[in-house]
Structure 1
Amino acid sequence: MNFKMRTCGMSLVKYILFAFNIIFAISGLGILIAGAVVLADVNQFSHFVEGRVTAPPIVLIVTGLIIFLIASLGCFGAIKESPTLLLTYAVLLAIIFIVELAVGIAAAVFKADLEMMLKNSLQESIKRSNHEDMMAWDNVQRKLMCCGVDNPADWRTLSLNKTLPASCCREKYIDEAVGHCTESLALGVDKYFQEGCVGKLRERIDKNAVILIGVGIGIAFIQILGIILACYLASTIRHERMK
């Protein structure tokens, strides 16, 4: 009777682990997709952000792919009832968990310096005002509906020609013939975007960070459960085979 109960219990854990890994594989694809979406969004403004901003979503994409492969190993180990494969699976899960934790800590540390880094990058770009810089500024100002670093006055004080670009104008006021706002007064409140781009960019990056952190925490809990199940099943199988 005890033998049958132990056998049933082991079979139950095996099927739970198998089902868990199916879910885990799907979650890996979810992480990959979330990382790709965030990376695509951040890359729109890559001219002004350092590689450290794009690193977390790239790590998440790679992690999602690795999780999918590890989940396949977990399924195979559960089917074969192989303690070696199951423990290898548990160790790999633990390594991925540590990597995710390290990335999360690095992102939290970097976040404290994010606004100053963005501000310096934006100010230097306005001072250069070359073709590449202006294309990047037109993109960010139109998409985020902002102007300058802190406000439109930055173009008057920092740029080479002391002129606000047309991308600072609200769309209905742009005069294509002259390339700036129609009959605009200096820094016209009604015609120019009044919010600076540093705040808008920070908000966009913070929003993406919330997505990454939420996905990361959810997967971390799933990984801990997987490690416990795999270790328990491996231990049970070894115990039964030693009898």
Structure 2
Amino acid sequence: MAGVSSCMKYSMFIFNFLFWMCGCIILGVSIWMRVSKSAQEDLNIDSSLFAAVDLMIAVGSIIMVLGFLGCCGAMKESQCMLILFFIGLLLILILQVVAGILGAVYKSQIETTLNKTLLEEAKLLQAATQDSQVFQEKFQKFEKMNQCCGLVKGYEDWGSNFNHAYGNFKICECAQKDQNTDLCILNSNRYIYKRPCGVVIIDFFKHHMVILMGIAFGLAFIEIVGLGFSMSLYCQIQRK
């Protein structure tokens, strides 16, 4: 009877140990972001982003469990653990493929929904309620940081609030170093940023979608390697 390849066994262990370590790091950082007030302040995490942090906690936990199953299955030559690892990794790969297909199919609808959301948010810039004022103050910081104005129509989105000031800085007002650049236009005797922030937000999503696709392809390759390792080792143990 053929024995189990030591090279395959230890390669499987090292692969899954690194996989498990990644899960530990993701889980640890995610829990720190979720419970630490200082982390939330430093990273500017509010309640609207907690869902993303919770998702990271779930992902880190799943990766840790799969890494543990892979490591123990390889070292103990456990067919049960290896098949559980294989099934879990295969399900993740299938979910990635389905998510990619849905993203491609509904891409135009996602862009339409994003544009509708921007139009709804733009109404808050013209409102005078207490909640809208909190949003306006935060958005003004976003404008200064990203050198943009308004969300869809530029300064028009602010309506009658356009001439208000937050601190010593008027809404959409260009920094002095930017006043003679293509970023600014002259309006009501002051220079303001001409690019709507909606363009910045959409470009941000498009840029990060490319990054996410690259990460997804990289993960898919790693997952396929893991599937190959686990099934090869499983078959060797079965023939032993």
TM value normalised by structure 1: 0.70
Q: Does the alignment pair 1:169 with 2:173?
A: yes
Match of 1:144 in 2: 146
> In 1, distance between residues paired with 2:102 and 2:28?
22
Task: Return the offset for 1:168.
Answer: 0.6
User: 5 Å matches for 1:49-68?
Assistant: 59-60=55-56, 62-68=58-64
Deviation, 1:90, is 0.5
Give the Å deviation of 1:224.
1.5
CA distance in 2, matches of 1:236, 1:74: 15
Code of the residue aligned with 1:15 in structure 2: it is Y
Alignment CA distance shift 1:210-1:162 (3 Å): same
Q: Is the 8 A contact 1:57 1:212 kept in 2?
A: no
Match of 2:12 among 7, 11, 17: 17
1:108-132 Cα offsets, whole Å, 9 max, x none, are: 4354335413432332222325312
Q: 1:77 touches 1:83 (CA, 8 Å); kept in 2?
A: yes
Q: Kindly state the Cα deviation for residue 193 of structure 1 after the two structures are TM-superposed.
A: 0.8
Identity of aligned residues (%): 23
Letter aligned with residue 206 of structure 1:
K
Structure 2: distance between partners of 1:206 and 1:119:
15
- Determine the structure 2 residue equivalent to 1:71: 67
Partner of 1:132: 134
- The corresponding residue for 2:112 is 113
SS in 1 for 2:125: helix
What CA distance in whole angstroms lies between the structure 2 residues aligned with 1:61 and 1:107? 23
Cα gap change, 1:29 to 1:95, in 2 (>3 Å): same
Aligned counterparts of 2:91 and 2:111: Cα–Cα separation in 1: 27
Unaligned runs of 5+ in 2: 32-39, 178-185
User: How much has 1:76 moved relative to structure 2?
Assistant: 0.6
75-84 or 111-120, larger mean C-alpha shift:
111-120
Q: Describe the SS at the equivalent of 1:208.
A: helix
Deviation per CA, 1:63-82: give whole Å up to 9, x if none: 23311321121001100001
Matched, 1:234 2:234: yes
* Aligned counterparts of 2:197 and 2:45: Cα–Cα separation in 1: 11
Q: Counterpart amino acid of 2:14?
A: A
The alignment covers a number of residue pairs equal to 213
The question of 1:192 aligning with 2:187 is answered no
Deviation per residue, 1:40-87 (Å, 9 max, x gap): 8xx96989xxx7x98677545532331132112100110000111100
1:118·1:198 contact (CA, 8 Å) conserved in 2? no
Whether the 8 Å contact between 2:125 and 2:159 is mirrored in structure 1 is yes
Candidates 86, 90, 103, aligned match of 1:90: 86
Matched AA of 2:195 = E
Contact 1:148 1:197 in 2 (8 A): yes
| Partner residue in 2 for 1:177 | none
